[in-house]
Structure 1
C-alpha cells in the first residue's frame, strides 16, 4: 500500500494485493500443515489426478488442486481452494484464519495460543500485501537482474512458517519506515555507553577496535559530527565510552523506556541519528549500507516477534561471533574440497545487557537482548568481477505470474536445466555435506544466510554468514579445547545431520523442485536424482571419509520430520528464558533413499 491510499484499504489495487496475499498464505498453510502431518489431504479419484479434499468437524470440507511432494505433503495450486459447509455448494476460499478455525480439532492448540498465532498471521498478511504491490508489473527477468539488497526487498518470507512476516509490535507506519518490502531506508541512532555496562567481541575488550568499526557506518564528515556530539553531550564518556549503533525503532520503543535509569544517571547517553543510510535485508534486523556497499553489514537488536521468536541479539552471539567466523574461515581455506565456500565473518560487536533483568537470572530472553550490534563483512568485498550474489531464498521466488526467477538464471547461463542444477548442488549441498562429514560442523543453511554466487547466471560459489546460532558441531568433533569451534553447541550426529537435511534440503530444495518441474520441465524425481548423484560422487571421491559418511547418512530410509508450525502451536510466545525449539512429527519417508537415484 502506498502513502497515497494510507487512509483507506478499499482501493482497487489494495484489494487486488490483499487477494493475492490471502490466496498465497492459504495455499502455503494447507501445504505446510500437510507436510507436518497436522492435516491429511485425500485424493479425489473421481475428479482426476491432482484434486484433493480435506474434511473437518461440523460438516466443513475443502477441495483444491495440488501436486504431491516427494518429501511429504502437497504443493497447493494458488487460487484453487474452495470451501463447503454442510450440503451447500463449494465456494472459493480465501481465508487462512477460517481454515485454522475449521481445523482447530486437528491443531490441538489452546485458545490463547491460537489467538496469538492469528495476531502474527494477520500482521503478516498486511506485510505480504505490501510486498505483492511491489511485485506487480515486475516480471521474473527484471527481478532476477536486481542488485542483491534490492532483490531481497522483493522476496517472499519463510516458506515453512505460516506466521512468517508477523512482526508483532509494528504497525503500518513501522512497516513503511523499516520493512524491506517497503524499500525502507534508515539512519542509525547512536548511544555512548559506560564500558562497565558493555560486553564486546572476545574475552578481552580490546580484541576488536570498535572505534574503527564505527567508520564502517560514518564517512569522515559524519564521524566528525558524531565525535563533536559526544564531546558536547557526554564529556565524561568522551575518552572511555563505547559507541553503540541502535535501530531507530528499537531506541524509541524499548531502549528509551527500559534503560531510563541508565540514561537518567548518564551511564548511557543518546546522541541522535548519524552516519550512512541502511536498507533492511531479508532477515530484517540485518542492515546493508546503501551509501557505501563495501562497508560492513550491521545486525542489530530488533525486539519484535517475527517468524517464531523475538529478534533481540543474544550477548553470546556478540562476544563469540567474530572468533567463530575467523576459525571457520581458516578451516575452509585449508580444505581444497571447500574452495567454493566464502565465509562472511563478523568483524566485531557489542552488547549492553540490562542490569536489572540480568539480576533475575532467568528473565525472558526478549528483555535480556535489547541492545546489541554486530558488524559483518559485506559480500561486496568478496565478489570477483562479473559475479553477483543472490540469496538462496531467491531460488523459491516467482513473479506474480508464477514464473520463477531461476528460469532467468538458467537461460542466461546457457546451460541445460540438469547442468545448472548440478552446478547448484555441487556448490551448495556438496560443500555443506563435506563440512559435516570431514569436520563435524553443521550449518543450518536456510534461504537467508546462504548466498549463491552467480557468474553469467551459473552458480560458482556460495557465501556462508550468521554462524552464532546456525553453526553447530558434532559431539565427536576433535576441536582443541578453548578453540572457538570447540565452544559451539555440540549435538549427536543424528541431530546434526538435520542441519543439512532439514535446513537446506527440506527448507529450500523442497520448494525449488516443483518450480523446476512446472516451469522448466524437469520432474521432481529427476531433480532428486541429480542431488543424489552429486552427493554420491563426493562420497566416491573421498573414501577416507567412509566412516563419517555412514554416520551422516542422507540416504537412510526414514528421517526425523522437523516441524516449526507444530512448535508454534504448543506454547504462547510471550518469551520464555530460551527461544522455542522445533517439534517432531511422524517420521519422514526419505525420498533420497530410493535406489532409482543412484
Structure 2
C-alpha cells in the first residue's frame, strides 16, 4: 500500500509543481523524443519521464504509475527504472531548484506525514457506493484532503500517536475538555441574541454545568469570575499545561474536566462536530500545529470579531431576496472566547503561533430539513481505491448537466452575487462550503463557513453593504476588484472545479460553458453593475497565479510575526474566457 500511495502522491507532486510553473516539462510532441502525452523533467542529477494530460487553467494530470527516473549508474551507464518514491523526487527537484536544504527538510517531513496519512486512509478505504450514504461528520473522515496542496496533511507538531487519535482519517470520536479562565484574561462575545449563559446551556447539560461549577468551587474559585470554554485535548496537553502553567498554578485557569458528548474532527482538523448532539454548535479550537501552510491557531482579532461580523453578514444575507430564493445560508460564528497570553501579548513581534494558543469560536450547525443530507464540498473530489469518483454516486440517475446546474445555482450564483452587489467575497474551498441535497443527492442549497477568517471586502465603498462592523478597528481585509475575485478563482474555480471537471461526466466545453453562462447571465441581469463585473471579471483571458505549494517552498519554515500573503507569480489561462456560454436552465 505504501508504494501505491507514494506513486499517487508523486504524480500529484509533479502535476502541481508543473501547474505552478516551478518545474518546466519538455516533450509531449507527436513524433518527438518523448511522444504524445509523454513528458520529461530534467534535473541536475536525474531525469523524470511521465505520462500526463493537460487540464483547465494550464493544469497537469499526471498518471500514477507512469513515472520513470533516469540517472547515472555506478558503472557510468544510464539507469532508467520505474519510480514511485515521492521523497526521492522532492530531494531531486529541490536540489535542482536550489531550495534551501532546511526548507527541503521541512517540506520532506510534511510530505512524509501526508503519505503516512494517505496510507492509513487507503488501508481503511470504503467504496464510494458505501460512502454516499454516510452522515456528513463520518464522511469527512474518509476524504483525502486539499486537492492542490501536495503536503496537505503535514501536521507538524503531531506525533504518530496524535495523528491516530486526532486526525480526521482516524475517525476516532473524542471528548472535549473544558477550562474556566479568569475574566482578567478571557473575554466572551456573542451575537445580540446570545449571552454567555445561553451558550453554556446550549452546549452543556445541567448535570455537566453543575459538575463544572463544583470543580471551580473545589479549586477555591468564584464561578462568576470565570469564562468557560472548550479546549482541544492535544492543545491542553502540549500547550496549555506548559505555556500557561503559571496561570494554572495560580488558579487563573482551572481545568473543569471533559464534557460527555463525543466529537469528530472535520477536514479542517481544528474544527470539531458534535456527533452525540448534532444540534449543538461546531467548535473551532486552536492547535499549535503547522498544517496546509500555516499554524492552526485562532488569532485574537478573529475571535473578538467573529460574532459581530456574523451578525452583519447574516443581516445582509437574510435581507437579500435573491439569496432567499436560492436558499443558501451562512453558518454563523455566533459566539467566541478570546484569551490573550499575559506575557507574550506584550512582548512585541513574537511569532504569531505563540499568540493564538487559547480561545474558541462556536459555529452554528448545518440546518437540515426532513429528507435532506449534507457533505463538504471537498467530497466532490473524492476517488476511491478502484478509481471511482464519489461525484458519480451523487449524480446517480440525474443527467450530469442537470445536477451540475443545480450545484451552480446553489453555490456559484450566490458567490457571484455577493461579490458584485456587495463587494464581499468568501473563501469557498472544499472545507469552507457544505452542500445540502435532497434525498436523490440533487444540490438544493449550500452553507458557507469561516465568516471572519476568510471574508474580504472591496476597497471601494459599496452602499449596499451599509455600515461595516470593523470600520474603526479593521479586521476584514480590503482588496481591489481584480484581487477580490481571486478568492472565487483560486478557492472554487481552480481549487475545486479544475479537478471536478475531470471527474464529473460532462465534456469540458459543457462544464466550463455552464459556469460561463452563469457569469454572463448575471451581467445581463444587472447592467448597473457592469463596471464592477468588468473590473473584477471572471471571464478575463487570464488570472493571477498564487502558487500555494511555491509559497511554502519560497517562504521556508522560519517563524514569522504574521501570516504572510501568498506571492503572485505570473498568470493562468482562463477556460471561461473563450468557451461558448451555456445559459442557465432556470432562465436566470
Q: TM-score, normalised by structure 2?
A: 0.93
Please list the CA deviations of residues 329-378 of structure 1 after superposition, one character each: whole Å capped at 9, or x if unmatched.
11111222223311110120102111111111211111101101111100
Hey, what's the Cα distance between the residues in 2 that align with 1:354 and 1:394? Answer: 38
Asked whether the equivalents of residues 309 and 580 of structure 1 are also in contact (C-alpha less than 8 Å), the reply is no
- 2:156 corresponds, among 137, 161, 168, to 168
Change (3 A) 1:90 1:349: same
- 1:392 corresponds, among 374, 377, 391, to 377
Asked whether the equivalents of residues 194 and 237 of structure 1 are also in contact (C-alpha less than 8 Å), the reply is no
- 1:530 corresponds, among 514, 531, 553, to 514
Aligned residue in 1 for 2:585: none
Aligned residue in 2 for 1:477: 461
Hey, what's the Cα distance between the residues in 1 that align with 2:404 and 2:49? Answer: 34
Q: Which range is displaced more, 249-258 or 61-70? A: 61-70
Hey, what's the Cα distance between the residues in 2 that align with 1:593 and 1:343? Answer: 30
Secondary structure in structure 2 of the residue aligned to 1:594? coil
- 2:393 corresponds, among 389, 399, 408, to 408
Q: TM-score, normalised by structure 1?
A: 0.91
Aligned residue in 1 for 2:55: 69
Hey, what's the Cα distance between the residues in 2 that align with 1:92 and 1:217? Answer: 54
- 2:548 corresponds, among 551, 556, 564, to 564
Asked whether the equivalents of residues 529 and 597 of structure 1 are also in contact (C-alpha less than 8 Å), the reply is yes
Please list the CA deviations of residues 457-476 of structure 1 after superposition, one character each: whole Å capped at 9, or x if unmatched.
11111101111221110011
Aligned residue in 1 for 2:134: 146
Secondary structure in structure 2 of the residue aligned to 1:201? strand
1:236 positional shift: 2.3
Aligned residue in 2 for 1:349: 336
Aligned residue in 2 for 1:273: 258
Q: How does 1:42-81 map to 2 (within 5 A)?
A: 42-44=26-28, 45-46=30-31, 48-58=35-45, 60-81=46-67
- 1:581 corresponds, among 549, 565, 576, to 565
Asked whether the equivalents of residues 200 and 318 of structure 1 are also in contact (C-alpha less than 8 Å), the reply is no
Hey, what's the Cα distance between the residues in 1 that align with 2:275 and 2:467? Answer: 40
- 1:97 corresponds, among 87, 106, 121, to 87
1:49 positional shift: 3.5
Hey, what's the Cα distance between the residues in 1 that align with 2:346 and 2:134? Answer: 48
Aligned residue in 2 for 1:13: none
Could you list the runs of 5+ residues in structure 2 that have no partner in the other structure? 583-588
Q: Does 1:545 align with 2:529?
A: yes
Aligned residue in 1 for 2:281: 296
Aligned residue in 2 for 1:308: 293
Aligned residue in 2 for 1:440: 423
- 2:491 corresponds, among 503, 522, 527, to 503
Aligned residue in 2 for 1:417: 400
Asked whether the equivalents of residues 302 and 475 of structure 2 are also in contact (C-alpha less than 8 Å), the reply is no
Hey, what's the Cα distance between the residues in 1 that align with 2:35 and 2:501? Answer: 23
Aligned residue in 1 for 2:109: 119
Hey, what's the Cα distance between the residues in 1 that align with 2:383 and 2:202? Answer: 34
1:480 positional shift: 4.3
Aligned residue in 2 for 1:134: 124
Q: How does 1:23-34 map to 2 (within 5 A)?
A: 23-34=7-18
1:116 positional shift: 1.1
Hey, what's the Cα distance between the residues in 1 that align with 2:214 and 2:562? Answer: 40
- 1:367 corresponds, among 341, 354, 361, to 354
Could you list the runs of 5+ residues in structure 1 that have no partner in the other structure? 1-15
Aligned residue in 1 for 2:364: 377
Asked whether the equivalents of residues 245 and 373 of structure 1 are also in contact (C-alpha less than 8 Å), the reply is yes
Hey, what's the Cα distance between the residues in 2 that align with 1:495 and 1:237? Answer: 50
Asked whether the equivalents of residues 41 and 53 of structure 1 are also in contact (C-alpha less than 8 Å), the reply is yes
Secondary structure in structure 1 of the residue aligned to 2:224? coil
Asked whether the equivalents of residues 193 and 237 of structure 1 are also in contact (C-alpha less than 8 Å), the reply is no
Hey, what's the Cα distance between the residues in 2 that align with 1:312 and 1:152? Answer: 21
Please list the CA deviations of residues 189-236 of structure 1 after superposition, one character each: whole Å capped at 9, or x if unmatched.
12111101013326x9x9842233233432232222222222212x32
**Count of aligned residue pairs for this structure pair:** 568
Hey, what's the Cα distance between the residues in 1 that align with 2:210 and 2:175? Answer: 16
